[in-house]
Amino acid sequence: MTSYKDKKVITIGVVHELTGLSERQIRYYEERGLVFPDRSKKGTRKYSFNDVELLMDIANKREEGVQTYEIRQDMKKEEKKRQVREEMLRGQLNAHFNMRK
């Protein structure tokens, strides 16, 4: 379920190289609740490949002039949708198995 894409192992310097974003920008997007890196014991940020992809999406939105606040709202909506879909699926599965009982 958790693959390499989700493992938080990339330092901010490498994320900078991969995305072209400045470290300042990357930290700021975290401040705005758009990315959530892990922290090593000593406090350095660790990102996953998923985070890198997300940051590239954010970079594109920013270029279009979308504000971080709006990006955050959109991300919340997406999250909501995903939850609803999951609940529906769960409900159907339950109904199915209840019928077979």
Partner DNA sequence: CGTGTAAGGAATTCTGACACG
2's tokens: 């958790």
What per-residue string of b and e applies to 4-20 under the rule 16 or more CB within 10 Å gives b?
eeeebebebeebbebbe
Provide the minimum distance between the beta carbon of 63 and a second copy in the complex, in angstroms, as a whole number.
24
Amino acid letter for position 79: E
Q: What are phi and psi of 39, to 5 degrees?
A: -125, 140
Name residues contacting a second copy, limited to 2-41 (CB under 8 A). 4-5, 7, 9-11, 13-14, 17-18, 40
Per-position x/- string for 22-61, each x denoting binding to DNA as judged by CB under 7 A, each - no binding: xxxx-xxx--x-------xxxxxx----------------
Residues with Cβ within 8 Å of residue 56, at least 6 apart in sequence: 19
Binding residues for DNA (CB under 7 A): 11-14, 16, 22-25, 27-29, 32, 40-45, 62, 67-69
Binding residues for a second copy (CB under 8 A): 4-5, 7, 9-11, 13-14, 17-18, 40, 46, 49
